[in-house]
Chains A and B, each alone.
Chain A
Amino acid sequence: MRAWRHPSFVIGGALTLLLCAAALLSLFWQPYPPAEIDIPNKLQGPSLAHWLGTDSLGRDIASQLLVGAQNSILVGVVAVGIGLFIGVALGALAAARRGWVEELVMRASDFTFAFPALLTAIMLTAIYGPGLFLSIVAIGIFNIPVFARITRGAANAVWTRDFVTAARAAGKGPLAITWDHVLPNIANQLIVQATVSFATAILAEAALSYLGLGTQPPQPSWGRMLNEAQTLMFQAPLLAVYPGAAIMLSVLGLNLMGDGLRDLMDPKLTRVR
């Protein structure tokens, strides 16, 4: 298999598998319940009983990290899902209809870029209070124009191909052509973008949770762990290292896998390396 010889794909895939495995494992087993408070054992260093030590309330760090992986995956899947579902629909519509529909969709996407996920989250939080759901919505909204643009660009190229002209001559409507011919031909690019957007979503959620706008206690999240660790930097500096490393490795894994997929799925594309 060509994939096994592609270093980015192999390293990225391994890290991504690790993330998924951690989340999956934590569904069935955790060393300790992550929210279990154990004051006598607070701020312990790494040991056999607590692999990565405990935080200021005696909660087990390793367990929190494991369960935090669920959170990151949830955010990634839902936020990318929102972007993918609505964005691809809009992009495909723009490519199928052209004219003013396309112009409207594209201008709306340009416009949405003026509102990075953080700004949307700030506005929503100011009204409804902080929460995981709103931060996912904010990240999802930001993903919509990303996928709309990619879909429209790629779909426009497919619409000019001969087999689409043939399908139109045979009497197929725009919806059927989009479904049968356009989407299968742009799926590769969408998969690559979804991988990269997944990584961005994890980063954005971590930042929002760090700021207190995202995941709320007692649900463990890597971003909030960093926020709590910052107040203890003089007593327990390692607490500020683990969650960040978990975020970095997950994002690195997804980005590398995205790069690898891009190369593997499009052998014609000789990228400038």
Chain B
Amino acid sequence: MLLFLLKRLVTFALTLAVASVVVFAVLEVLPGSAAEVILGDTATPESVAALQARLGLDRPPLQRYLDWTGGLLQGQTARSVSYDTPTAELIAERMHVTLPLALIAMTITMGLALTMGLYAAARHNRAGDVGVMAASQIGIAIPNFWFAILLILVFAVHLQWVSAGGFPGWTEDDGGGLWAGLQALILPAVALALVQAAILARVTRSAVLEVMREDFVRTARAKGLSRRQALWRHVLRNAMIPVLTVTGLQFANLLTGTIVVENVFVLPGLGRLVFQAIGNRDLVVVRDVVMLLAASVVLVNFVVDVLYALVDPRVRLA
């Protein structure tokens, strides 16, 4: 196990390192320097050179790369060009919205997917099963941002239960509060959860069906457990392994979905931050946010790999 963990850890670190090189190369080395991007088409060569000097872009790329990654490892980030604040502060502030949104969405996803998947498996090939499967096909095909717009149409425009977007803040000082904040995140979270839940419900259903065919389930039933008891005690636990794996793999979807849906609801999260940064030509922010997002995808997959090996010894021995 230790050797497996060590191998995985090395791969994880290497992947992060390569990711940082790619992000750096795309944003800072490819033709079209940051200073040119910031100043636009009308810039004179002198003003570009002056800005490059101010941003420290006149130094050799290798040194800039080492400064950037070295800073990241020590928790030091460069200042945003448009906000004049270290990007870490900007990102931390926006995480107050993005992280709760992703977590609520994940919770709804799991709740919905497990219920639907189990229900469909229990009613295998009957009307309930066919209905859930058809609904999930449609759920997979619906773009999350369109579903978000439809939710706004129904609940904000038509019923007028909630506002059509925006975020009041978590504290009363900001003019919001815990309840107001949660209310603002519910519709975005539902919009995000639908597609994820549709995929995961299918995985849950097929995993449960597969385990139900196993001999140990027949043994459990033979020793007198009811269908329901066997399902809860033996099937569910074993079926969770593929479900967790797919949940991990879906994390990247959840992340990009969050970026899109934040923009639909005008929520001040990471997604808004990075889009405003593109508009402001604030490449420092774009670089650090993209790196953070890519790193979190890599991290989640690393954690899933390790969890998977903990649950299933065959993985680490292979």
Contacts and interface: CB of A to CB of B under 8 A. Distances in A.
Contacts of B158: 237
A126 B146 contact: no
Contacts of B298: 114
Given A230-B264, A252-B138, A272-B209, A207 B15 contact: no
Interface string B274-305: 11011001010010001001110110010000
B149 interface: yes
Interface in A217-273: 223, 226, 229-230, 233-234, 237, 240-241, 243-244, 247-249, 251-252, 255-256, 272-273
A62 interface: no
Given A115-B294, A244-B150, A248-B142, A211 B253 contact: no
Contact of B27 (A123, A199, A206, A240): A123
A86 interface: no
Contacts of A119: 256, 290, 293-294
Interface in B235-293: 252-253, 255-256, 259-260, 263-264, 274-275, 277-278, 281, 283, 286, 290, 293
A118 to B, nearest CB: 4
Main secondary structure of the interface of B (DSSP, over half): helix
A188 interface: no
B293 A240 contact: no
A251 B144 CA distance: 13
A234 B209 CA distance: 46
Q: B15, B153, B281: which has the most chain A beta carbons within 10 Å?
A: B153
Contacts of B278: 122, 125-126
Interface string B178-220: 0000000000000000000000000000100110000000000
Nearest to A130: B278
Contact of B137 (A124, A229, A255): A255
Interface string A112-143: 01111111001111111000000000000000
A233 B37 contact: no
Contact of B146 (A117, A118, A211, A248): A248
B260 A210 contact: yes
B145 A123 contact: no
A197 to B, nearest CB: 14
B146 A247 contact: yes
A110 interface: yes
Contacts of B39: none
Nearest to A229: B149
Nearest to A249: B141
A107 B125 CA distance: 40
Given A211-B275, A251-B141, A272-B206, A244 B149 contact: yes
Given A248-B142, A252-B138, A118 B260 contact: yes
Given A119-B294, A126-B286, A237-B153, A207 B145 contact: yes
Interface of B: 11, 15, 18-19, 22-23, 26-27, 30, 32, 37, 125, 137-138, 140-146, 149-150, 152-153, 157-158, 164, 206, 209-210, 252-253, 255-256, 259-260, 263-264, 274-275, 277-278, 281, 283, 286, 290, 293-295, 297-298, 301
Given A110-B15, A114-B298, 18 more contacts: A111-B15, A111-B19, A114-B294, A115-B22, A118-B259, A126-B281, A127-B30, A199-B141, A211-B263, A233-B149, A233-B157, A233-B164, A240-B149, A241-B153, A247-B141, A248-B143, A252-B137, A273-B125
8 contacts: A113-B297, A116-B255, A124-B26, A126-B277, A127-B27, A211-B263, A229-B149, A248-B138
